[in-house]
């Protein structure tokens, strides 16, 4: 199993290209099930989750073609993939595929919308809390689907097609909003989604669906209106930049010190996180090419942050910020409101010398003068990258074990950091 070895103390200088967003790529690929024409996605990142979803879609009969690289192509450019779901051969998504990745459960929406039926295993995936699928099921029921749960499978039927309805989510849910958008696009009549997720990835999926012929208005606000259409066509769509990857590398630069251009990304995708970094004493400069992040040798200021749905501070950057605050001059407080056990990185950061105490959903971080390298274990995707960030500033060697979590969400992590001067390498046993 691969490990990542880091020797701390190197400043980061140079350019890091930001990949396409994983959290938009997955629902965009699933949206390919809504049409019998080809959907071409550009700027697709090379990630383990993308490969896994290709397998799942292949099981339903989707033909996935990945464009090869030609001589002279930018090695950092995302891939282009063509998804062709001309014929759906199977409306069942089996446990052995869905259990490996939560987002694959979302295939239930386009399958029942287009085929009138779907049988999808209850999901597996991350170990960060319950994250139930009840709101996804509720949204389909509001559109007229009949739902049964049998033997660990959710069976959805809409023999005469879905029909528009009112969906009011009791709490903000990105997966629920994606599901509702896809299902409502092919439903008869108008659907109103209240308390919809406002994340940029939701807007990206809505933009792509509109290019395919859907009639969606209000994406990016808490009220989305979808007028159903009889059929969707194919289209070409470029995946938006990954705001979580952007924020992660911004915090890595803040931790190690240096001056790095984060290329092909936009500040509006993560303004709340950039504001927190500015408050911590990091220099953030938007440019035509992306975002420049710089920190001289000065110390970091402590911050107080509560994770919130977009446009608030993202839960997916909480672990990275916590790693950064271990080196702040003073005491920081981070409150996690989205996922109930998303503090699993705390024990591992403590192995590097961090001083963090937990009280319910709030972590108190006492900044320390120095961290010391140690062997640590990745527990989930975002936690694993927080250990890399801490390792960049720790004295001596840090060995991050179980990095398959990292490969689910970060493309070429060690190459991107290494190109800016980090002493980092992947070790394959």
Is there a binding annotation on residue 412?
Answer: no
Is there a binding annotation on residue 133?
Answer: yes
Q: What is the number of H-type helices and E-type strands within the chain?
A: 14, 24
| Distance of alpha carbon 285 from alpha carbon 378, whole angstroms | 32
127: Cβ–Cβ under 8 A, 6 or more apart, which residues? 341, 344, 379, 380
408: Cβ–Cβ under 8 A, 6 or more apart, which residues? 22, 47, 48, 49, 381
Is there a binding annotation on residue 70?
Answer: no
* Closest by Cα among 96, 39, 9, 27 to 236: 39
Is there a binding annotation on residue 338?
Answer: yes
User: How distant, in Å, are the alpha carbons of 53, 110, 242, 411 from that of 85?
Assistant: 14, 11, 26, 27
Is there a binding annotation on residue 200?
Answer: no
* Closest by Cα among 304, 293, 205 to 256: 293
**421 burial class (0-12, 13-18, 19+ CB within 10 angstroms)?**
middle
Is there a binding annotation on residue 123?
Answer: no
Phi, psi of 206 (to 5 degrees): -65, -40
Annotation marks residue 208 as catalytic: no
| Pair of tokens at residue 258 | 């240096």
| Pair of tokens at residue 248 | 């992660």
Is there a binding annotation on residue 23?
Answer: yes
User: How distant, in Å, are the alpha carbons of 25, 376, 387, 388 from that of 352?
Assistant: 34, 8, 9, 11
| Distance of alpha carbon 334 from alpha carbon 310, whole angstroms | 17
| Distance of alpha carbon 269 from alpha carbon 272, whole angstroms | 9
b/e for 42-68, b at 16 or more Cβ within 10 A? ebbbebbbbebbbebbebbebebeeee
Annotated active-site residue in 4, 83, 111, 126: 126
Is there a binding annotation on residue 131?
Answer: yes
Is there a binding annotation on residue 67?
Answer: no
Q: Using H for helix, E for strand and C for coil, what is the string for 128-178?
A: CCCCCCHHHHHHHHHCCCEEEEECCEEEEECCCCCECCEEECCCCCHHHHH
Provide the 8-state DSSP code for 68: P
User: How distant, in Å, are the alpha carbons of 42, 164, 208, 219 from that of 213?
Assistant: 19, 17, 9, 15
Q: Which residues are annotated as a binding site for UDP-N-acetyl-alpha-D-glucosamine?
A: 102, 131-135, 316, 338
Q: Which residues are annotated as a binding site?
A: 22-23, 102, 131-135, 316, 338
* Residues designated as active site: 126
Q: Which residues are annotated as a binding site for phosphoenolpyruvate?
A: 22-23
């Amino acid at each position: 199993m691969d490990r990542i070895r880091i020797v701390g103390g190197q400043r980061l200088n140079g350019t890091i290209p930001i990949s396409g967003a994983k959290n938009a790529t997955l629902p965009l690929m699933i949206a390919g099930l809504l049409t019998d024409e080809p959907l071409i996605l550009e700027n697709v990142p090379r990630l383990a989750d993308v490969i896994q979803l290709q397998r799942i879609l292949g099981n339903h009969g989707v033909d996935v073609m990945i464009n090869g690289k030609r001589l002279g192509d930018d090695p950092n450019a995302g891939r282009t993939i063509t998804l062709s779901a001309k014929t759906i051969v199977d409306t069942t998504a089996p446990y052995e595929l869905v259990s490996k990745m939560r987002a694959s459960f979302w295939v239930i929406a386009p399958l029942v919308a287009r085929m009138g039926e779907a049988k999808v295993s209850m999901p597996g995936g991350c170990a960060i809390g319950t994250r139930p699928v009840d709101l996804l099921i509720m949204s389909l029921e509001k559109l007229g689907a009949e739902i049964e749960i049998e033997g660990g499978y959710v069976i959805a039927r809409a023999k005469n097609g879905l029909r528009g309805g009112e969906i009011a989510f009791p709490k903000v849910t990105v997966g629920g909003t994606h599901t509702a958008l896809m299902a409502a696009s092919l439903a008869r009549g108008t659907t109103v989604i209240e308390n919809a997720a406002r994340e940029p990835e939701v807007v990206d999926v809505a933009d792509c669906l509109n290019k395919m012929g859907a009639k969606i208005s209000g994406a990016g606000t808490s009220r989305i209106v979808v007028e159903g259409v009889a059929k969707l066509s194919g289209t070409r769509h470029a995946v938006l930049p990954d705001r979580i990857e952007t924020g992660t590398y911004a915090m890595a630069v803040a931790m190690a010190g240096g001056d790095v251009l984060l290329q092909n990304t936009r500040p509006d995708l993560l303004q709340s996180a950039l504001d927190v970094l500015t408050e911590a004493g990091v220099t953030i400069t938007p440019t035509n090419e992306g975002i420049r992040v710089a920190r001289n040798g000065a110390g970091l200021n402590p911050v107080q942050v509560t994770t919130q749905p977009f446009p608030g501070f993202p839960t997916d950057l909480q672990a990275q910020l916590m790693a950064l605050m271990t080196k702040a001059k003073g005491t920081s407080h981070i409150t996690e409101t989205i996922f109930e056990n998303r503090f699993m990185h705390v024990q591992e950061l403590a192995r590097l010398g961090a001083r963090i105490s937990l009280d319910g959903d709030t972590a108190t971080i006492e900044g320390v003068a120095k961290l010391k390298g140690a062997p640590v274990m990745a527990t989930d995707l975002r936690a694993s990258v927080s250990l890399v960030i801490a390792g960049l500033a720790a004295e001596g060697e840090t060995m991050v074990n179980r990095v398959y979590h990292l490969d689910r969400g970060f493309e070429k992590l060690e190459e991107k950091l290494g190109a800016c001067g980090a002493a980092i390498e992947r070790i394959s046993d």
